[in-house]
Every structure is written in structure tokens, then in C-alpha cells.
Amino acid sequence: MKKITDGTAGTIIYIIIGILLAFGINQGLALALSTSMPVVAVESNSMVPTFSKGDILIIQGAPSPGDYEDFLEIGDVIVFTPPERPIPIVHRLIEKNPDGTFQTRGDANHGQQLPFEKSISPGEVEGKMIMIIPYVGWIKIGITEYLFPNPWIIIVLMVTISFIYYLAKNIRV
């Protein structure tokens, strides 16, 4: 008697369970850490030597929405999303402006500050970094920077995996 977890159907079930588990963990972290963005993959080297491209950061949101002025301190590494950029930025908080906005700069950007870093409103802030997990973010970067823009890589991988699966099933040793 064949079990449902055998063969191709089993593989598909395991993939679906993995995706649901990852989604559930992300949603649980979002709730526990008070932020919609609890896990961030670093996509540039602007914060070297603190962390590098490919690292994963765990982000803590403010205890109550809009309470970032008291929650954040100079020197914290924060995640914010400027309105003109769809990708979150991870930089160090260097100053609190009198109007309640913030200024940031990347650790590797010696003295150079980008225009969108000079007046970050509390509504743009996702939270502050509380933990670094090195290298794990390369999985996300590999998928978004190499696989999605290059569908041929996905096709070649699928054909190769199918061929190996076929050989493994049909060759008797």
C-alpha cells in the first residue's frame, strides 16, 4: 500500500507544508515583535563591518504604533522604507531632528548621507535591528536577483531535477 507521502505527491505536500510553515513563522514573529517586517535580508554592503550583504536581520518594532521617538536611540540600526524607494533601507540612526524626524547613514558610507536619509518620518520606520543571522539571506537574494529575472535558470533547474529523478527511478543497480 502506498502512502500519500510517497513519490511526487509526497514531495508536493512537503513543499506546501514548508511554505505554510515559513509563512506562519513570519506572521508569528511579526506579531511578537510588533512589526510588519520582522525579518529582513541585507541587500547591500552599506553597513559593513556591522553586517554584510546576505545577512538576515531580526527587527523589533516600537511597543506602540508611532512611538518611535522614545523607542529609538542614536546609534540604533533601523529599518525604514522611504516613499520613493520600494526596498527597505537598513542604516544607523545618527540624529533625531527637532521636527520629530530622523537622520541615518550607512556605516560604510563615511560622511556621505543620501538625500532620503536626512528626514525620515516615524511612519517610514519599520523597527530596529535586534539580531543578525549571517549568510542566510543569500537564499532570498539568489532567488530575487538571479532566478526571477532569469526564467531560463528555473527551466534548466526543473529539467535537470526531472532528469535526475527519472534516472534514479528507472536505473536498477
What one-letter code names the amino acid at 139? I
Indicate whether 19 and 43 sit together in one domain: no
pLDDT for 88 equals 92
Q: What is the CATH number of the domain that holds 127?
A: 2.10.109.10
Residue 155 structural domain: 137-173
Q: What type of residue is 120? A: I
Nearest one of 78, 96, 76 to 88, comparing CA atoms:
78
3-state secondary structure of 169: helix
Put residue 135 in one of left, alpha, beta given phi > 0 → left and psi -120 to 50 → alpha.
Answer: left
Q: Are residues 91 and 116 in the same domain?
A: yes
- Exposed, middle or buried: residue 116 (CB in 10 Å: 0-12, 13-18, 19+)? middle
DSSP codes of every residue in 66-129: T-HHHH--TT-EEEE--TT-SS-EEEEEEEE-TTS-EEEE-TTSTT---GGGS-B-GGGEEEEE
Grid cell, residue 42, equals 541585507
Q: Is 126 found in the same domain as 100?
A: yes
Are residues 130 and 144 part of one domain?
Answer: no
> Locate cell 516600537: which residue?
62
> Based on the domain organization, do 24 and 1 belong to the same domain?
yes
Residue ranges in the chain whose pLDDT is less than 70: 1-6, 65-66, 172-173
Q: Are residues 26 and 50 in the same domain?
A: no
Identify residue 65 by its one-letter amino acid code: P
User: What pLDDT is attached to residue 168?
Assistant: 84
pLDDT per residue over 21-58, tens digit each? 989 999 999 999 999 999 999 999 999 999 999 999 99
Number of domains in the chain: 3
126 and 171 share one domain: no
Compute, in degrees rounded to 10, the torsion defined by CA atoms 88, 91, 96, 100.
0
pTM, to two decimals: 0.77
